[in-house]
Amino acid sequence: MERTPRSSPIRPSTGYDRGESEDFSALRRLLLSPEQIQLNRLRQRMDTLVIGPQEVSRVLPDAIRLRAQQDNRLLASLLPITQEALALSIKQSPQLISDSIAPILGSAIRKAISRAMREMFQSLNQTLEYSMSWQGLQWRWEAWKTGRPFVEVVVLHTLRFRVEQVFLIHKKTGLLLNHVMAEGISSQGEAAISGMLTAIQDFVRDSFQQGQDEGLESLRIGDLTVWIEQGSSAILASVIRGTPPVKLRDFLQSTLESLHVQYSDSLKDFQGDAAVFLETRPHLEDCLQAQFVKKRKGLPVVLWVCSGLLLALLGWWAYQATLSHQQWTELLKRIAAEPGIVVTTIQEEGGRTVFHGLRDPLAVDPEQLLEEVGYPPHAAGFHFEPFIALTPEMVRKRAITVLQPPGSVEVSIEGSRIILTGESSHGWIARVTRSASAIPGVSEISLERLIDTDVKQFEALQVELEGQAIFFFPGQGRMPDRELVKIQQVKFILQELDEKAIQLGRKPSIEVMGYSSPVGTQPINVSLSERRANNVLEMLNEITFQVLKLSAAGKGVDPDVPSGSGGEQGYSASRRVSFKVVESGFPLRREVGARSEP
């Protein structure tokens, strides 16, 4: 329906208009029906476009070929997939891969091994031939002066010629296709050398107006000669040391012609990828030829054998003389450094070297020094007079010998004082005190850093005893049954105290002190505390002590309990018997009693 201008009135729809529209639609279907059907099919196909394998297979080969001619992006894309596929194939079917490459690698490996063995035996044979000759000795001197291996010097003097390097170069681009080197030759940038040779040839052609088929045939650089063989598509350059024969050039030409026949297509279509020319290595290695000068007849073998034996004897004598001198020097150093030995004279007596001097009895045995340095015992002897060395080392050694300290005691020396550090028993400490005057060079033995373990144990037992407390019923001299266990424990402590007192030479007294609570009058409390102390003393006297003396005393009310505290919990700690260790009427330690209800 067409849009009319706003100023025009809208006409009402009539039957004639509808009929006219239907006629045009029918006419359009008659005229455009086939094209409309095709357009609908194309639209449907574009909406549901799916490229199947059949369509891809028709264009894939041509697409790969065209893309590969443009650049290397297709190769870079396929390379990881190809590597993974090859790795998976090797992992799943190693035998198949082995069977496929065996015909290719087998002959190459055998040829390489054969060539390496041949070169090794040839080099070894040359070295053995010249090793014992006068000329060989001269060459050894030259090798020592120049720092080169002897084998290399022999090769340089006996070499007639040797092909050291072979280059296969693409003629059109000047790129290196392959390169091989003889054994012992270091790499010096093959690609750079290849480019240099190509540049030199181009310069010669341009300078002398030569054609492309013409070029250099040889170059000489010092003792090296470069032979260049020209081919239609490749160049074969050989680096030769020495004077090569003419027949070698024929062999190089034949090799280049064979390579052109075998790799003609690859040389013509070369685009920079030299991987295909790796298979030319066996052909190039055949060009690594060498020829040496034959050795002239030398002196008789018997003369060389005799000379060799004489040199061996001279070498053995020189070795023994050097070893004996080193052992003698080391023996003198050891004797001079050993404390307690003083050498006054050294004399030769009966074919032996005898040392005279002084030796402390505690010093090391000089025969042991001979054994340690490896000096022959029959070649040396000792005649030492005894004396007492007062050096710090010998004084310390003598103190250790006399005192015989246990492993827990360390002996050190400061001037003329012996310092003992560590822990030891009371008996050993007493013996040390008595033995101080028996050590020459010692003015005093310091025990300040030494701990008496018996005194330490005695004090620990004293603290443990004074920490014991026996509790009683209120207003009674009888104790609960559970306190009997403490009585037994006190007996054990007293027995150990008695033994330690004997070891220490002490005669301590044990005071059994009874206490009562502040409830009641003073006379009653004193009497009750005495009764409690006597009851405990009577139980303890069941054991006989050798030095301990036990006594009981009633103290009445405990002065440490505040007078204002009351109640059963407050007074229970006062109804007790405690202990104190005294010696000569003075307590060894401050009294320690229990302060809590059991």
Domains along the chain with CATH numbers: 118-292 (3.30.450.70), 302-386 (no CATH), 392-448 (3.30.1340), 459-587 (3.30.1330.60)
Q: What's the pLDDT band for 440 if we cut at 50, 70, 90?
A: confident
Distance CA 440, CA 431 (A): 17
Q: What is the pLDDT of residues 539-565, one digit of tens each?
A: 988 888 898 899 988 888 877 766 544
Strands 341-349 and 176-181: unpaired
Q: Report the mean per-residue pLDDT for the chain.
A: 76
Average pLDDT value for residue range 21-50 = 73
8 A C-beta contact, residue 405 and residue 373: no
For 356-375, letters b (16+ CB in 10 Å) and e give ebbbbebbbebeebbeebeb
Strands 444-446 and 417-424: parallel
Q: What angle do CA 230, 233, 235 make, to 5 degrees?
A: 35
Of 277, 254, 285, 258, the C-alpha closest to 169 is: 277
Q: Which residue has the higher pLDDT, 174 or 510?
A: 510
pLDDT at 249: 85
For 14-35, letters b (16+ CB in 10 Å) and e give eeeeeeeeeeeeeeeeeeeeee
Instruction: Say what the pTM is.
Output: 0.40
Q: Is 118 exposed, middle or buried (0-12, 13-18, 19+ CB in 10 A)?
A: exposed
pLDDT at 489: 93
Q: How far is CA 590 from CA 282, 509, 595, in A?
A: 105, 14, 15
